Structure formats: structure tokens, C-alpha cells
Amino acid sequence: MNDFKNLKVWERAHKLALSVHKETAQFPKEEQFGLTSQMRRAAYSIPTNIAEGCGRGGDNEFSRFLRIARGSAKELEYQTLLAYELGYLGLDQYEHLSADNEEVQRMLRSLLKKLIAQSS
């Protein structure tokens, strides 16, 4: 896999990163170096690791980077809940980001299973 832009999971993760960036722009200024930064880094890490994994040699390396992306998605899952419970995200924003993140996580799991099955 050479071109990450051809992967549906990368496309969805990229859209999620854009949504997180947009939604966190509304967070309080005092969170700029706290939760805002953490959520953005976690969100950016998902498509970044998919892209980096595509540039590595072989399915084992790609799988490793997909697992890192999955960990970042889990991190973002918690941070989104925290932002909602702190009142930084409204219910609609929270549900939208959570649903998009769940879809990305599902796609990552599916791709990982496919890669593992191919290497067996």
C-alpha cells in the first residue's frame, strides 16, 4: 500500500481530524495548551499514522501503525467525552464526533483483521 489517500479509513480519519480542529476552536482560551491541544494531537495522529504506515515496508509495519492510530482514536474517544462533560461540546457536537470516531475505529479494526488474515 503506497498511496494512503486511496484508503477509505484514511479519508474518514482525515475528516474526523478536520472536525475536531473546528470544534476545539470554540473551547475556552485557557484550554489552548490543555484539552484543545491534546484532542487535536490525538485526532491528527490517526490519519498521520495511517499515512506513515503506508510508507513503511510490508504489512507488519503497516499493522503496527494502524494499532497506533487505533490507540489515538481511543484517546480521542475519552477526550471527547471529557470535553462534553466539561461543557465545551454540546450534545450534538459530542454525538457527531463520537459517531465519526466509532466509525474510524471500526474501519481500523476491519483493516487490521484483513492484514492479519493475509499474513497468516
What total of structural domains would you count in the chain?
1
* CATH number where 51 lies: 1.20.1440.60
Quote the CA–CA distance of 69 and 55 in Å, as a whole number: 15
The model's pTM is 0.94
CB 35 within 8 A of CB 83: yes
Mean pLDDT, contiguous 10-residue spans, the chain (120 residues):
88 98 97 97 98 89 96 98 98 98 98 88
**Burial (0-12, 13-18, 19+ Cβ within 10 Å), 47:** buried
Domain that holds residue 25: 4-119
Helix spans in the chain (H): 8-24, 35-54, 59-85, 91-119
CB 39 within 8 A of CB 20: yes
Residue with cell string 494531537:
41
Q: Give the model's pLDDT for residue 58.
A: 85
